[in-house]
A and B are shown apart, each in its own frame.
Chain A
Amino acid sequence: MSPRFAATRLAMLVVTVLVSSLAIHGAMFLTPGDPATLLVGGSRNPDPAVLAQIHRAYHLDDPFLQGYWHWLGDCLRGDFGKSLVYRDSVADLIGDRAGTTLALVLYASVLVLAAGTVIGTVAALRGGRTETLATTVTAGAMAVPTFVMAVLLIWLFAVKLPWFPVYGSGEGFTGTLTHLTLPAAALAMTWIGYVAQVTRTAVRAEMRSEHVETARSRGVPERTVIRRHVLHNASGPVFAVSGVGIAGIIATAAVAEQAFGTGGLGALMIEAAAKQDMAVVQAVSLIFVVVFVLINTAVDLISTALDPRAAQKEAR
């Protein structure tokens, strides 16, 4: 990977985060009334003294960019302001819920990586009926939206077959695991489909490639050919699509959290948006966007480090 590519990519990361945070902060000025009304927590006739206090705390009377700079600086120091709906500091609200979301995203990511690569590899190596079945099932999994998958899983595995609990995030390791299994599966399903299809195509392409033929004709045992020459070379595109999948899981975690009532950052953000509690929405959406962009950048950088040709493909 050329240092130039890394530098461009990192510069893009910084610009994207800056512009996104500008949009997140600027959004509240789109409201037809006083932006401070979005920060008092939806009360229709707020106390003027409280409004004045909010104006001071959020620098709403300063020029826009100055106010933005104050807000961003506070966020970077971990001070996200106060929620008047929850009567708590936003940082505490986030701290209480971040663990659940992190566990959910990790769980779903593990499912995507494990199930996606295994299904794709087995389908490509076995071929025939196994491959047709895998392709059909994964195409079906990709077509079902996350929130529909969520209600389907609740009906099948919590009501028809009462195997899993559906509310809360559970206590202890096994409790968390059982509570988060269905939400993680609902989140992962689409991306298991994607990863499986990309894996299948990549493994197939490698199986037909010349270097694999050469290895076989040299008498290298089939097991070694598959492990060292097929799977190793197919890992590039699989890694790239998995990374995109994990970023996608973070972006849609809110849907699963809401559908299963597990609680978490996404559920907090949606609840706060419904109550027009802007301080919370801004803080949580900033966190989601930063993590989303960070992961996408990391995937790009690692993909190029693994396969420098990817950078050339991207350069237009």
Chain B
Amino acid sequence: MTTAPLSGTTTGTGRTKAKRTRPRDRLTLGAGCVVGLFVLLAVLGPLLAPHDPNAVDPMNVYAGPSATHLLGTDDTGRDLLSRLIAGTRASLAAPAVVVAVSTVLGTLLALTAAWSGGWVDRLVSGALDIVFGFPGLILAVLVAAVFGAGLTAPIVALSIAYLPLITRVVRSAALRERNLPYVSALQLLGAPTARIWTRHLLPNLLPLVLVQATIGFGYALLDVAAISFLGLGSRPPDPEWGLMVSNGAPSILSGQPQQSLYAGLAILIVVVAFNLLGTGLSRRLLGDNA
């Protein structure tokens, strides 16, 4: 523990270290660019799509790649590229809500538990252990049975299912932070608790929360897509990617795997990009070499 800040202050070794980690940083940067590109697509999606994503063309089903349809068309003649682009918003919005809700709630819960200690801490940890024992997918199916298919079920279920993951990590960091001498010093000086939280604890925990949210986003996207694939999430004719994979599945048997494979590839690219960005950020912001 004590050697880490020492080697950091000697600028000489610091520089050589930075040089050596460059390829990894480039990978993180690349992942960041991919993430940025897809966020841009999610915002501008419908404007950028070359065709109406829901326009059917019965004369032109399963068309191969051409100048007008760069990725070809699906079983009803809809332009696949336009559907993938227009689907970015639906595919990224639901996981964004899941991550936002579970991160904000989880961070508050973690801070409360770490700050109060004692039975509050034990209660929070115990409750989260129970939630952790309930698989997210099963929870989503249960919620979908009550509310019907739609994005409500995956958003509610996954926000709950992701709570223990973020809370556990932030709680142990908050506990370390809370026991640092500067916190007691602030308390002795009479600083109000709210001020210590907003001015000191939260800013210090922010990098960790950001890393967790980034990695969590990839998993949330995957889970939302899986639930849509099962027919309990997005509803047709939404061009959401998970739904596109299942829409295209029957055509695979007649030798037309394009829709499923392209949508699956889109999911894979975004999930891997978020994962690489998350681990890269964790290296940069938190300094662990994992």
Contact = CB atoms under 8 A, between A and B. Distances in A.
Nearest to B228: A147
Nearest to A23: B134
A145 B268 contact: yes
A292 B142 CA distance: 16
B253 to A, nearest CB: 6
Interface string B241-285: 010011011001101010011001001100110010000000000
Given A16-B129, A16-B130, A145 B257 contact: no
B135 A147 contact: no
B210 interface: no
A28 interface: yes
A198 interface: no
Contact of B230 (A20, A251, A270): A270
Nearest to A253: B137
Q: 10 shortest A-B CB distances, which residue pairs? A: A251-B135, A148-B264, A273-B145, A281-B145, A151-B260, A155-B257, A16-B133, A147-B229, A273-B141, A293-B133
A158 interface: yes
A154 B249 contact: yes
Contact of B253 (A31, A166, A278): A166
Contact of A145 (B142, B225, B252): B225
A155 B261 contact: yes
B149 interface: yes
A65 interface: no
Main secondary structure of the interface of B (DSSP, over half): helix
A251 B255 contact: no
B253 A159 contact: yes
Contacts of B126: 15
A159 B252 contact: yes
Interface in A272-293: 272-274, 276-278, 281-282, 285, 288-289, 292-293
Given A252-B137, A258-B230, A151 B145 contact: no
A272 B231 CA distance: 12
**Majority DSSP secondary structure for residues of A touching B:** helix
25 contacts: A15-B126, A16-B129, A27-B142, A143-B271, A145-B226, A145-B271, A147-B246, A147-B264, A148-B245, A151-B248, A151-B252, A155-B252, A159-B253, A159-B255, A251-B138, A252-B135, A255-B137, A255-B229, A258-B231, A270-B230, A273-B141, A285-B138, A285-B142, A289-B133, A293-B133
B133 A296 contact: yes
A27 B146 contact: yes
Contacts, number: 135
A284 B151 CA distance: 22
Interface residues of A, number: 48
Interface of B: 126, 129-130, 133-138, 141-149, 172, 222, 225-226, 229-232, 242, 245-246, 248-249, 252-253, 255, 257, 260-261, 264, 267-268, 271-272, 275
A19 interface: yes
A199 interface: no
B137 A254 contact: yes
Nearest to A144: B268
Interface string A305-316: 000000000001
A203 interface: no
A75 B141 CA distance: 19
A158 B253 CA distance: 8
Nearest to B149: A274
A152 interface: yes
A288 B141 CA distance: 12
B231 A270 contact: yes
B231 A274 contact: yes
Interface in A118-161: 143-148, 151-152, 154-155, 158-159
